Amino acid sequence: MNEEYSIEDFANNLLDGATRCRSCMQCYSVCPLVESTYGFSTQGPYGILRSIYHGIKRDFDESLTVQDRQVLRNILYSCTTCGACDIKCRTSGSGVSVVELIEGGRKLLVDEMVGPLKNQKTALKSIWNRGNPYGMPAADRLDWLKSFSEKESLSCKIVPDDGEVDLLLYVGCTASYEKSIQDVACSLVTLLEHMKINYGILKEEECCGSPANRIGDNRLFSDVSYKNTKKFIEYGVKHIITISPHCYNTFVNEYTDSMKEIKIQHYTEFLSDMMEDGRLDIAKEIAKKITYHDPCYLGKKNNIYDAPRKLLKGIPAVNLVEMKRNRQDSLCCGGGGGRMWDEVEEVTRLSEIRLREAMDVDAEIIATACPWCHIQLQDAVQDTNNESKIVVKDIAEILVEAL
Amino acid sequence: MNETEFAKVEKVANQLKGIVSEEFVSTTLFERIVSAEDTYPYELREREIPYAVVKPGSREEISEILKYANVEKIPVFVRGSASQLAGSTRPHTHGIMLSIDRLNDIKIFEDYNFFECGPGCIVAKVDEKIGELGYFLPVHPGSRVIARMGGTICNNTSAHIVDTSIGKLGDYVLGVEVVLPNGDLLETGTKSMRRPAGTDLTKFFVGGDGLLGVITKIRMRLIPDFKYSYAVVYFDNVRSLTKGVQKMYYEKQPIPLIMEMMDEKTARIGFEVKGMPPPPGAVILFESIGSTAEEAAIKREKVIQSLETENPLLVHRIEDINEWRAIMSTREVISSFLSQSSGMQWKSAEVIPNLKYLPEAAEECEHFNEGLPICGSLQNYLYAHIGAVSLHPGILVPRDWDGEKQREAYTELFEREAELTLKYGGCGGEWGQFSKRTSFFIRRYGKVGYEFVKSIKKTVDPNNILNPGILEGYR
């Protein structure tokens, strides 16, 4: 929060935004919280918005107890920020930016030291100190590349040491550090090598700042986004592809205009273009029934629904089936909104509901294009002992299998 | 909350936790406030905030809660999705907020030709579920994605569906299970195809405004779905449009299932929001039904034949369901869009005139708020479930008015609604009879009518435990 703009101004703006809701409450009908919790009124968009409203008003007259503030914090941080409510509100004609208001409420809580949740604090601290939310050493960030054996000489350049590149692969924290997702990064490298792209990876890549924005740490986000933007410009980066839809969304929608000169794509968009141009030639058949889970930050937030499907359909013999809820109606996996870093009350895990939806259409593979969706769904498969029936794979991994 | 109230919250919560599992009781400040709010924008008064919110999972648990409430004389307010528009879901005093969300099972018995569902079932989900088997749900509120079956049954509303086409929702209810205010359990009605002749206990609860019991199960006849035929007709003005609707009735035409209208000003907004070219005038949208597509199309032509006697500007027959959905969505976005774009709060009234004076009533509704002391200068819009002869003038109320002024504004609008509906001999056909409409009820049916209902309520609920305030007319 900058100095000219006081907390009170910010709170008043949130109040104004919250009052624009006309209380039709139809946002409850699409909210993943409603179906994964006990469904109390505060466990859905309208209730969260009203809680912000009452929280601010009662804070002004100092009638909130410490316990009330903690409850408010838990209410606000339960949201996955999937954006289903925003779409519902927009199509009904109202167009209240519910998620923006919820994230604004979180910023207020962080400023007043009520938020975030305990483990989210640790994640934010780790971004400050190590450039990633996982508490991992910055020096280990490129270790995943070691999985390529020495005889596989990679053309991958390390930016800026190896000079300029046509394309920068922004790996992101999860694909860099999470063992189960490192394969996705490796798959992307394999595909880029296969297509003979002049590409590279940052030598000192750092978090894009998405978790800071979701959790409400404005200062951290400003710091991270400034550093990253400076780095991209300094290194002459012209084209970035991201593995995570969260990084993509942050670069495209949340960084300043100084990034406007850089072409930013989610990797599925880039590969889809390559497939269309004939540079990504897929020869091998994969005779499997595959369903695609739309990540919220790719689909609902950025309208990227077709590119991932096009890639899957481009693989010979793939039988692509849609789950009952797909595209903008797709159910959130539960991993967004800062929920990757702390336990949020769930009666039925969203990822397990989503898994059931995939199994209802007899899919053998759930394909996705987001590291967090991947982790959430993978956990659901394991926890429900369904490993023999269905597997979770990133689209990049499936494409490599089909090369 | 003072210490006494805090102690009360603790005590009530502990008792409730002895009846339902702990996780289904909430006493957090925010839950207590939000669960008691409805579609009206003004805040609750402190004395209206419930002690606790409880989500029972069975009728037995509801029975226990009501028995406890009777012993302690604590009011119990039943909540579905709070989308009722006459204020019935908002409490007027501290109490227990009882949510029926968890009673949401649905079972379809095709061999009996009925289905049973809990009151917590979402209307749109029931519609979808029975729709998969080729059946039709005779209720279609704008709030269907959140509205619950319990609320629609308590109001006996068919909402946007034209009553004279297929009847009201209650005409299809075969029976209900109810917990009476004293905790007694009651099952009404029948499992047969024929509803009771003579005294039918079901009728005390269907359209009972939630006064006499908590409905815990609903049994409804399965209706085979229809085939549909659609049209949109534009008129130069509302008068000729409404005269066309009169002709449809006078010429004994088959009444459409849905027949909506918007005046030109209102329609222009909906069309613009949905990216369509502006309408040439006031609009009628309707869907005719039949057991075959041919029958539906024939019925559509008959309706058009009557409407054409009033020289419409344009008649457009719609053959593509997507085009129909798009054009219907112009009607559905108006209130939301106007609220957001104007920064004000939409409030519609429900004026139900008789058929003979429909054109005059519609003209009055085009100037609905003129001359009103508080709302007189506000913008007025008009749409209607015109086939049901049900008019919805809509007003934009400034949201920066303080809570008390907003309350007065809404009261004024309800009074104006009452004045017009009384003038034309109608009564509320969609949102229930009491709460913000109690004064209308008394004027419409006299003290005798009101005392009649009060005496029934007092007999069944001597402690006035269940939903107090609805009958008394809380605002």
Distance CA A287, CA A291 (A): 13
Residues A265, A379 within the same domain? no
Cβ-Cβ contacts under 8 Å, A75 against chain B? 30
Res A6: pLDDT: 83
Residues A244, A363 within the same domain? no
Residues A177, A213 within the same domain? yes
Residues of chain B with CATH 3.30.70.2190: 227-332
CA distances from B207 to A260, B62, B81, B82, B285 (A): 59, 20, 17, 16, 28
Q: How far is A81 from chain B (nearest CA, A)?
A: 20
At the topology level, CATH places domain B106-224 in: 3.30.465
The residues near B305 (Cβ < 8 Å, ≥ 6 apart) are B251, B253
Q: Which of A93, A115, A137 is the last residue of a domain?
A: A115
Residues A188, A208 within the same domain? yes
Residue pLDDT, tens place only, B310-343: 999 999 999 999 999 999 999 988 988 888 888 8
Q: How far is B302 from chain A (nearest CA, A)?
A: 33
Taking an 8 Å cut-off on Cβ atoms, the answer to whether A42 and B273 are in contact is no
Distance CA A190, CA B360 (A): 75
Cβ-Cβ contacts under 8 Å, B345 against chain A? 22
Res B231: pLDDT: 98
For A71, which of B28, B37, B333 is closest by C-beta distance?
Answer: B28
Taking an 8 Å cut-off on Cβ atoms, the answer to whether A24 and B83 are in contact is yes
Residue at A1 is within a domain: no
**Using 50, 70 and 90 to split pLDDT, how confident is the model at A79?**
very high
Q: Which of A115, A143, A163 is the last residue of a domain?
A: A115
Q: How far is B31 from chain A (nearest CA, A)?
A: 6
**Using 50, 70 and 90 to split pLDDT, how confident is the model at B153?**
very high
Distance CA B214, CA B218 (A): 11
DSSP B158: -
Average pLDDT, chain A: 95
> Which range among A72-76, A94-98, A216-220, A272-276 shows the weakest confidence by mean pLDDT?
A94-98
Total domain count, chain A: 3
Q: How far is B23 from chain A (nearest CA, A)?
A: 8
DSSP B204: G
Cβ-Cβ contacts under 8 Å, A42 against chain B? 28, 30-31, 34
Residues A259, A163 within the same domain? yes
Taking an 8 Å cut-off on Cβ atoms, the answer to whether B26 and A19 are in contact is no
Q: How far is A32 from chain B (nearest CA, A)?
A: 14
For A72, which of B30, B55, B82 is closest by C-beta distance?
Answer: B30
Cβ-Cβ contacts under 8 Å, A58 against chain B? 29
Residue pLDDT, tens place only, B82-103: 998 888 899 999 999 999 999 9
The residues near A186 (Cβ < 8 Å, ≥ 6 apart) are A144, A147, A148
Distance CA A25, CA A39 (A): 13
User: Would an 8 Å CB–CB cutoff place A19 in contact with chain B?
Assistant: yes
Residue pLDDT, tens place only, B244-301: 999 999 999 999 999 999 999 999 999 999 999 999 999 999 999 999 999 999 999 9
- % of chain B with per-residue pLDDT over 70: 100
Provide the residue count of chain A: 403
**Using 50, 70 and 90 to split pLDDT, how confident is the model at B475?**
low
Taking an 8 Å cut-off on Cβ atoms, the answer to whether A23 and B336 are in contact is no
Cβ-Cβ contacts under 8 Å, A71 against chain B? 28-30
Query: Six-digit token pair at A181?
Result: 């997702």
Res A345: pLDDT: 85
Residues of chain B with CATH 3.30.70.2740: 343-431
Q: How far is A65 from chain B (nearest CA, A)?
A: 10
Res A150: pLDDT: 66
Residues A263, A288 within the same domain? no
Cβ-Cβ contacts under 8 Å, A89 against chain B? 336
Nearest CA in chain A to B98: A40
Residues A189, A286 within the same domain? no
**Where residue A294 sits, what CATH number does that domain have?**
3.40.50
Residue pLDDT, tens place only, B190-215: 999 999 999 999 999 999 999 999 99
CATH architecture for residues B3-99: 2-Layer Sandwich (3.30)
Query: Six-digit token pair at A334?
Result: 């539960």
User: Would an 8 Å CB–CB cutoff place A382 in contact with chain B?
Assistant: no
Res B2: pLDDT: 74
Interface of A with B in 317-356 (CB under 8 A): none
Which class in CATH covers the domain with range B227-332? alpha beta
DSSP B430: S
Taking an 8 Å cut-off on Cβ atoms, the answer to whether B145 and A26 are in contact is yes
Distance CA A226, CA B427 (A): 64
Res B1: pLDDT: 67
Cβ-Cβ contacts under 8 Å, A19 against chain B? 41, 399
Q: Which of A274, A299, A322 is the last residue of a domain?
A: A274
Residue at A122 is within a domain: no
DSSP B375: T
Residue at A123 is within a domain: no
Taking an 8 Å cut-off on Cβ atoms, the answer to whether B34 and A50 are in contact is yes
Q: Does domain B343-431 have CATH number 3.90.330.10?
A: no
Cβ-Cβ contacts under 8 Å, A93 against chain B? 273, 332-338, 340
Cβ-Cβ contacts under 8 Å, A46 against chain B? 34
Mutate to test the interface with A, among B1, B3, B29, B328 (most CBs of A within 10 A): B29
ipTM: 0.94
Q: Is the pLDDT of residue A313 over 70?
A: yes
